[in-house]
Amino acid sequence: MAQIRANGIDIEYAVYGQADGVPLVLIHGFGQQLTAWPDEFLQALTDGGLKVVAYDNRDVGLSAKWDGQIPDFAGIAADLQAGRSPQIAYSLDDMAADAMGLLDALGITSAHVAGASMGGMIAQLAALNHPGKVRSLISIFSTTGDRSLPPATPEAHMALLTKPEGDERAAVIAHVLQSRRAYASTGYPYDDELIAAQVGASYDRMYYPEGTLRHWAAILAAPPRTERLKALDLPTLVLHGGADTLIRPAAGRHTAECIRGAEYREIEGWGHDLPLGVIPRIIGYMLDFVRRTEAARA
């Protein structure tokens, strides 16, 4: 892993695979560090001939922080209700510019761009705002942000936003183990030991809950992308789980419906997580899609 200056900020990143592999940028979701991508997921992508670029979004992990800029969520809600643009530290568009700035800094002219959850929203904006740099879009359990879509279940919504009882390592791990069950896969085992190890590693690398407040503000303030996506002319793969209670399957279907020619793959029993058992299915869809897209480009 290394740090580089991109889009005017310091971004922590890592590159996996062969230098001459087909480039793929991975954008993670709400509060997630680049190290949260399972090793098995990264290995399968690189075994498939891809050069994978993963990075810490701003305000998470080892990338730049916006210390002290605490969002006014009541003000954001009032602005949205009145049709005004909320005052926030940065937007999802800014985060999309980070991803594309990272490509520039690494000397990569264009890449396939895949994002999960909030990362999928950022990936959509990268495709919309920087079309020349994006070879294809892969949107993973994400959404267009359309206000008419079914919301998360109350249990999943509360699990995402509820704080742990304390900031100690053990309290944080226990909280995450419990909360993630509200939106975990139902068709794949919930591995407490593995998840605890992953959360503990993230905690040790950088525990920074303040950044998630600004991530949430950026999500809330983002205008729906529905109409803009209808004009997108780009190979697109949408992956979603049939058991996702946080971003419901209807959101994935709607994303695919909005983008002309998009491919949609829904996996039964898959929730809003990446259990090891579902990774082969996801990788199979992704690699097949990238190979066909590359063949069409050639």
CA angle 278, 279, 283 (to 5 degrees): 125
- pLDDT digits 0-9 by tens, 9-43: 999 999 999 999 999 999 999 999 999 999 999 99
Q: How confident is the model at residue 263 (pLDDT cuts 50, 70, 90)?
A: very high
- pLDDT digits 0-9 by tens, 51-84: 999 999 999 999 999 999 999 999 999 999 999 9
Q: Which domains does the chain have, with CATH numbers?
A: 2-297 (3.40.50.1820)
**Nearest Cα residue to 263 out of 249, 252, 277, 248:** 252
| Element holding 94 (H helix, E strand) | helix 92-105
Q: Is the dihedral of CA 184, 209, 3, 10 positive or negative?
A: positive
- Cβ-count burial of 39 within 10 angstroms (0-12 exposed, 13-18 middle, 19+ buried)? exposed
Query: Per the confidence metrics, is the pTM higher than 0.85?
Result: yes
